[in-house]
Structure 1
Amino acid sequence: MGDPAPAQASAISDPQDVYGEFRRPLLVLALTTGIAGFVDAFAFLRYGAFVANQSGNAVLLGIGLAGRHAAWPESAASLIAFAAGTGVVSQVRAARSPWSPSLRGLACAVLTLALWAVLNVLLHHGRQGGPPRIALAAAGGFAMGALATLFVRTAGITTHITYQSGTVAKIGERVGRWLAGPDNGRKRARQGTFLGLLALLCYATGGGIGTLAQQQPLWVPAWGTLALSALSFLLRCRRSKR
């Protein structure tokens, strides 16, 4: 992976870098992408829409409008709610506060995921279809939009929690630089390739676990909430200077 020490030092002042805001940053990257894959698989199989993979929702929306996907309103609701969650929580993170942006972002992600968990129980995991399932897709999309703001870099390298299409594209670019790029950039490209593969592996693993968890559909978002809450123990203990 190479020595990330210089990147770690610069990340300490960057609230959008997992190295700057969390202890055990690779564990945080693995856990957050795993949670996203976990709830994404559950939502797709239960609601017919993704809550994290908004590229997939855009395609499902088009298929639905062409008359071949009945759950297109769920996809539209999740897509819109994801954007709203990202926008709202980004403003919460940017606001003046004695607390660090990552603490505020994590609190928002946990609270919105907990709200989704409560609604999933009250609305019987959308088994009746219609408006309840649309509302649940929106609640999940909003929570994942909040989670997407938590960090966007790892040791100064762009990484994504929910947007894995970008991860695949970046892996391709970095493998090319690793194999054929200038010598002074190969170590960085190798590190970025490792981080991308880690994110993909954890997202896919989470998706597999989320699929198996269909046997207990009421509690899947609650398990995600508990797992995400564990990140509070990995936050760096300091307050924002803003």
Structure 2
Amino acid sequence: MASTGSGQPARPPGQADPQDAYGEFRYPILVLAVTTTTAGFLDSFAFLRYGSFVANQSGNVLFIGVGAAGRQPAWPAALASLVAFGIGAGLVARLRATGTVRTSAARGIAAVVVATAAWSAVNVLLEYGRSGPQSRAALAALGGLAMGSLATLFVRTAGVATTITYQSGTVAKTGERIVGWIAGPGNSRSQARKGSLLGLLTLAAYAVGGALGTLAQQWPLWVPVWATLVLAAVALALRRR
């Protein structure tokens, strides 16, 4: 069986890949940029308000270790986010696997919107964690659940592995692809170029989201609400079957 550039087996002609943005969304590059910007937006907000990340779980693993050494008082929020992220990713992956392939992406985006809306409501009720570390840990958990759900929305774009909510792997893969684009054999340079550009777009979008999330700290009650509206709008880009 043939293989895509991501190392995944090619699907039969006419059959959409339920984990590829090109198969499930119109304007897939825009969807990749918007969802990744939203993840960066929420991650910077959560870090500055709760003391932990909701998307960047590598950072949370480090915070847990630093906390164990007595130098990171917000480590319970990091742990709560880490556990909830895994739960969200697992539950939504399972949800997408049930039913028909044709409705997989719709179920996924619906779960993301519901999880982010729940986080938004509790963020308002708990006044973005002002009352203490317990409320911040609860909010970090809800944010982690939402971002874990978002992580499973799609994992490839045009056959290239892409990530929405965490970017350490993107940095490594983009470096590999840039070297392949410059120095690889001729028949692989086109795929390497495509992967490089998608990786650079993803990293830029996440950074822009981080900047926007920082600027939005003036309105901490509403940051998750705005993100919920943006993610709900992504549903409009779903391909109609």
Indicate whether 1:88 and 2:96 are aligned: no
Q: Deviations over 1:3-52 (max 9, x none)?
A: x9xx9996951000000000000000000000000000000000000000
Task: Name the residue aligned to 1:115.
Answer: 118
Moved over 2 A (4+): 7-12
Determine helix, strand or coil for the equivalent of 2:81.
helix
Among 81, 101, 105, the residue aligned to 1:102: 105
1:160 and 2:187 are equivalent in the alignment: no
DSSP-derived class of the 2:42 partner: helix
> What amino acid sits opposite 1:174 in the alignment?
R
Contact 2:11 2:17 in 1 (8 A): no
Which residue does the alignment assign to 1:32?
Answer: 35
Superposed CA deviations along residues 175-212 of structure 1, whole A, max 9, x for unmatched, are 11111111000011011000000000010000000000
Query: Following superposition of structure 1 onto structure 2, how do residues 33-48 of structure 1 map, counting pairs within 5 Å?
Result: 33-48=36-51
Pick the aligned partner of 1:224 from 209, 227, 239: 227
- Among candidates 47, 55, 59, match of residue 58 of structure 2: 55
- How far apart are the structure 1 equivalents of 2:101 and 2:81? 32
- Kindly state the Cα deviation for residue 98 of structure 1 after the two structures are TM-superposed: 8.2
Partner residue of 1:187? 190
Identity %: 59
Contact 2:88 2:148 in 1 (8 A): yes
Q: How many residues align?
A: 233
TM-score, with length taken from structure 1: 0.93
Cα 1:185–1:99 change in 2 (3 A) is: closer
C-alpha distance in structure 1 between counterparts of 2:107 and 2:146, whole Å: 14
Equivalent pair of 2:39/2:164 in contact (CA under 8 Å): yes
State the TM-score, normalizing by the size of structure 2.
Answer: 0.93
The answer to whether the 8 A contact 2:85-2:141 is kept is yes
- Does the 8 A contact of 2:18 with 2:101 survive in 1? no
- Please give the secondary structure, in 2, of the residue aligned with 1:100: helix
Could you tell me which runs of 5 or more consecutive residues in structure 2 were left unpaired when the two chains were aligned. none
- Distance in 2, matches of 1:9 and 1:27, equals 26
d(CA) in 1 for partners of 2:237, 2:91? 24
Distance 1:70 1:13 in 2: 46
| RMSD between aligned residues | 1.8
**2:26, 2:239 within 8 Å by CA — same for their partners in 1?**
yes
